[in-house]
Amino acid sequence: MGKTVLLADDDKEFRGTVAVALERAGINVVQASDGMGALEHLSRSLPDLIISDLNMPVMDGETFCRRVRAVSAYNAIPFVILSAMVEMDGASLANIPADLCLSKQSPLSEILSQLQDLIAD
């Protein structure tokens, strides 16, 4: 039984590209274009991991993360921020209750291995 990842990012191309990479690693991917869409998915089924961008319309990554942490049913799901802003806003990132913050610029293999570790737990 493969693991499922919920991927929230408003950049369609990036989302598609990462989805292909994850699926190649044997992980199912559910996509959402912002935090609100991702919450809708959560209400239907629970994934094994959530990956979210920070800067998104309607509901940004930080709000989305707080919402997830506020609901006990979603509380246990590991939450990963994957953003182009990671190195820039170190201070504000510390306030987000995410399990892990990754840069979009990191090599794909590195991103994948870190995600694998979180799912394996």
Partner 1 sequence: MIPGKLRNQLFLSSALLTSLILVIAAWVINSQVLRQVRQQVQEEIANLLPVYDSVWNEHARRLQTMGTAMADSPIVKEVFGDARAFRDRATLREMISDASVEALVAGDLILIADGAGQVMLVDQQGGAAPEIGNVAPMVEVSERQRQNTGFTKIGGRLFQLVLTPVVLHSGSAEINNTMAVIGTGSEVSAAVASEIKQRINSDVAFFMGGRLHASSFAPEVESEASAAVLASDLSLSDPVRATELEIGGNLYLAFARPLADFNGELIGQVVVLRSLAGAGRLFSAITNRLILLWSLALVTAWALSYLIAGRITQPIESLIAGARELGTGNYDHPVPVDAHGEIGQLAGTFDQMRASLRQSQAALLRSERLATIGQMASSIIHDLRNPLATILTAAEVMKNERLEIERRRTMLENLLRASDRMDAMLSDILDFSHSSYRLQRKPHSLAGVVRTVCQDMEPQIAQRGIRLDVRVPETIILDVDAERLARVFENLIVNSVQAFQQNRALPGAPPPEIEIVAAGNSHCIRVEVSDNGPGTPKEIRERLFEPFISHGKRGGTGLGLAIARAIIEAHGGQIGLVEVERRGATFFIELPLEREIIPIGMPPDSGPDRGSVEDGKDSLAGG
Site membership for partner 1, residue 100 (CB under 8 A): no
- For residue 54, the Cα-to-chain-centroid distance in whole angstroms is 9
Which residues, in sequence order, are CB contacts of 69 under 8 Å at separation 6+? 75, 79, 97
Tokens in use for 114? 């870190």
Q: For residues 46 and 72, give the distance between their C-alpha atoms in angstroms, rounded to a whole number.
A: 12
CB under 8 A: which stretch of 44-52, 55-63, 70-78, 93-101 binds partner 1? 55-63
Out of 43, 58, 71, 113, the residue judged to bind partner 1 by CB under 8 A? 58
Name the site residues for partner 1 (rule: CB under 8 A): 10-11, 13-14, 16-18, 20-21, 24, 34, 36-37, 55-58, 60, 84-85, 88, 104-105, 107-109
